[in-house]
Structure 1
Amino acid sequence: MARRPDPRPRHQQIAAELRAEIMSGALRPGEQLPSTPQLVGRFEAANATIQRALQSLKDEGFVRGHAGKGVFVRERRQFVVEATAYKPPTTGGYSYELLEVSETPPPYDVATALATPDGENVVLRHRLLLHDGEPVELSWSYYPLDIAADSPLSSRKKIRGGAPQALADLGFPERRFEDRISVRQPTLDEAEGLDLPADVPVFRQFRMVYSDSGRPVEVSILIKGGHLYELSYRDQPAEGRPDAPDRQGPGGGSRST
């Protein structure tokens, strides 16, 4: 059976090839890209098509243009978002904006994961994670009402030690998690909230957190731009449980407010 030909416009195909070379290190940080005539010859494309491809990479932050000199790969590699349970805010590092705290009906997939009875609300904490002032991740974290009501999780304030500490203080320490990662195009709110360039997809992480006896105590939906970030998993036991499954995962720190 024949495979479907790539339906993307030629400039997007060329940008994808160059983007892959930058991400793999074949084109190194600070290295000058081949000249436009060289790229025209390599890809057998018109000058205008090459310029559109380069503009896409500039918009995404992969390359920088220097007048009279050429186009250069950005100085830093992909930004790896460390996936710790809590990221303390630091000057020039991570910070959080608490966008919403409310009692709300959960989306269907969240209600299913939390085993929420029909018609029952959950507590929502909606946040924006920034690094050095730049938006990195949008998150929506949901908690069962019988756990979170009248607790720090339902307060419109940041939580010292983050949601993991709040859950532990309530008698529901995090014991394990499950992640589902998918990729899709962003919604309007996601594109604007993360300041995404055109045509950039997002990572969608659906995280289910369990406490003792396998009780689900949190579901988080974490959205990151797919252009400048890498998701990092590490093998590290949960605090206080050397035999526990890994708690690390991409974006876990966004649950810290």
Structure 2
Amino acid sequence: MARSFEDKRSAHQKIAATLRRQITRGDLAPGTQLPSTPVLMEQYGVAGTTVQKALLMLKDEDLLIGHAGKGVFVKGGTQQSISPAVYMPPAASGEPYRWISEAEKRAQRGSVQLLDVAVVQPPHEVALALGLEDGGRALLRKQVLFLDDEPTELTRSYYPLEIAEGTAMMERRKIRGGTPTLLKGLGYPPRSFVDEVSSEIPTEEEVVALELPKDMPVMLTFRVVRSDSERTIEVSLLTKAAHRYRMRYALTVTEHEFDA
């Protein structure tokens, strides 16, 4: 027998959730006109004000747009897939940061805004991953990544001071090719990374940096990057707007992995 559980969200939140999923998964394509308010009222068994609240939520999320005298249309499209692995290799000599070069391959314009560079006491889980003692400090580089002028990701990356000190990473300026290229030049090429992805309620900093609509969760990636001899060279907290992007991981599975 199925367990009983009630969705306690308001009616307009439920309607917005249904329409949002249809938009982000491609069932409602960009340019599609939504049914009229009376039709949606009948479909969902709600009042007109409830329908309007639901549509307003999706307009705030940039998924719908209203045209006076014509109706409401789908503005946003399916979520864009981000493949983390393609950004890990250092850029070739003279090449830009991979965020920018990969965007160009998709006919998009990538850009980076550097927010802060500082020596800080990192969050607890970051300190553990870096192997820092209590009160230990690390270098923080904080940036916002953009695609076509839309804020896409807030990155907070932490580096061991014994690696970063005396390098361009300590300077408040962008690094040609990005930190993976600089780290490789220092003898610490990125060899592997582990991602832990969770859905989180955004902090005020994340809402402002990513220009998030009200009540929108984020995807938070906790990433640990290692070099030769399993040396941890970077730990990052990467925050993306959950309604705009999805993560794509391509893995090869071999039979021996299941032999236990």
* TM bracket (short chain): 0.7 to 0.9
Distance in 2, Cα, partners of 1:60 & 1:179: 27
Question: Please, which of 199, 213, 231 is the counterpart of residue 229 of structure 2?
Answer: 213
CA contact (8 A) 2:23 2:77 kept: no
Q: C-alpha displacement at 1:226, in angstroms? A: 1.2
Taking the aligned partners of 1:215 and 1:4, their CA distance within structure 2 comes to 47
Find out whether 1:88 has 2:100 as its counterpart: yes
Give, in whole Å, the separation in 2 of the partners of 1:218 and 1:5: 43
| Aligned match of 1:247 | none
Rounded Cα–Cα distance in structure 1 between residues aligned with 2:23 and 2:128: 40
TM-score by length of 2: 0.85
User: Cα offset for 1:78?
Assistant: 2.3
Contact 2:63 2:76 survives alignment (8 Å): no
Match in the other structure for 1:35: 36
Structure 1 unaligned blocks of 5 or more: 237-257
1:88 counterpart SS class: helix
**1:77 offset after TM fit, Å?**
3.0
CA shift, 1:234, in A, is 4.4
1:131-210 correspondence to structure 2 within 5 Å: 131-210=147-226
Shift of 1:22: 1.3
Q: CA offset at residue 16 of structure 1?
A: 0.4
The answer for the alignment partner of 1:58 in structure 2 is 59
With the length of structure 1 as denominator, give the TM-score of the two structures: 0.86
Q: Structure 2 stretches of 5 or more lacking a match?
A: 88-97, 253-260
Matched position secondary structure for 1:65: strand
Aligned CA distance change for structure 1 residues 208 and 158 (closer, same or farther; 3 Å): same
Deviations 1:4-56 (A, max 9, x none): 31111110001001111112222122111111111111111111101100110
Structure 1 residue 235 displacement after superposition: 5.8
Whole-angstrom CA distance in 1 between matches of 2:41 and 2:60: 20
Contact 2:24 2:243 in 1 (8 A): no
* Superimposed CA distance per residue, residues 126-154 of structure 1 (whole angstroms, 9 cap, x where no aligned partner): 11111122211111000011111111221
Tell me the CA shift for residue 112 of structure 1.
Answer: 0.6
The whole-number CA distance in structure 2 between the counterparts of 1:214 and 1:141 is 18
| Contact persistence 2:201–2:217 (CA under 8 A) | yes
For residues 175 and 111 of structure 2, the distance between their equivalents in structure 1, rounded to whole angstroms, comes to 13
> Structure 1 counterpart of 2:214, which letter?
A
Match of 1:38, SS state, is helix
Q: Is the partner of 2:194 in helix, strand or coil? A: strand
Secondary structure in 2 aligned to 1:25? coil
The 8 Å contact of residues 92 and 133 in structure 1, kept in 2 or not, is answered as no
Q: Is the 8 A contact 2:29 2:77 kept in 1?
A: no
AA paired with 2:153?
A: E
| Aligned length in residues | 236
User: Identity rate of aligned residues, in percent?
Assistant: 45
Q: Paired residue for 1:47?
A: 48
SS in 2 for 1:204: strand
Report the Cα offset of residue 92 of structure 1. Answer: 5.9
Which amino acid is 2:215 matched to?
D
CA RMSD of aligned residues (A): 1.9
Structure 1 residues 66-85: aligned runs within 5 Å: 66-74=67-75, 76-83=77-84, 84-85=86-87
- Aligned equivalents of 1:68, 1:203: Cα separation in 2: 37
More deviation, 124-133/225-234? 225-234
Cα distance in 2, alignment partners of residues 105 and 187 from structure 1: 19
